[in-house]
Amino acid sequence: MNDVYSIKDATKKIEHYCAYQERCHEEVESKLRSMKMDSDEIDQIIARLISDNFLNEERFACSFARGKHRIKHWGTIRITNELKFRKINSRLITTALKEITPEEYLETFEKLSNRTWENISETNALKKRKKFCDNLLRKGFESNLVYEKVKELEAMERE
């Protein structure tokens, strides 16, 4: 790997990096720092990427939210926290979460919760409940949804 990049070389390399998949400003900045670029050069390259539409935080946030929900089955809490960690502003996070329809969200929650409940082979009811709740809360689903669902599943199991 080259130790020193010219602005032109770095821009070309970062354009490819951004074209491969959506990136947030933080990821691009970090990549440029790892290429030993100074802050003036980083600002210049990021401005160019934005003007050439290689970098768009709103597009990144929406794509991130859709992908993490549909592929990894994350809830809104986890998605929000991960976007905040990437320094995405609240307005964009709200826009991104609108990408997930309430119907799709609940359908994913239902499938995931039923599958999770079936896959827990714990015989102790309290331990099974804890494992179930921990799993879904870690995925980022709202606690009221999780606790309502666990009560429903426990009632069905008793019948």
User: What pLDDT score does 1 carry?
Assistant: 46
**Alpha-carbon distance 120 to 154, whole Å?**
13
* pTM, two decimal places: 0.89
- Residue length of the chain: 159
Query: For residue 113, which of 64, 147, 87 has the smallest C-alpha distance?
Result: 147
Structure confidence by residue, pLDDT tens digits, 62-88: 999 999 999 999 999 999 999 999 999
Q: Positive or negative, the Cα torsion across 37, 22, 61, 46? A: positive
Encode pLDDT of 135-156 as tens digits: 999 999 999 999 999 999 988 8
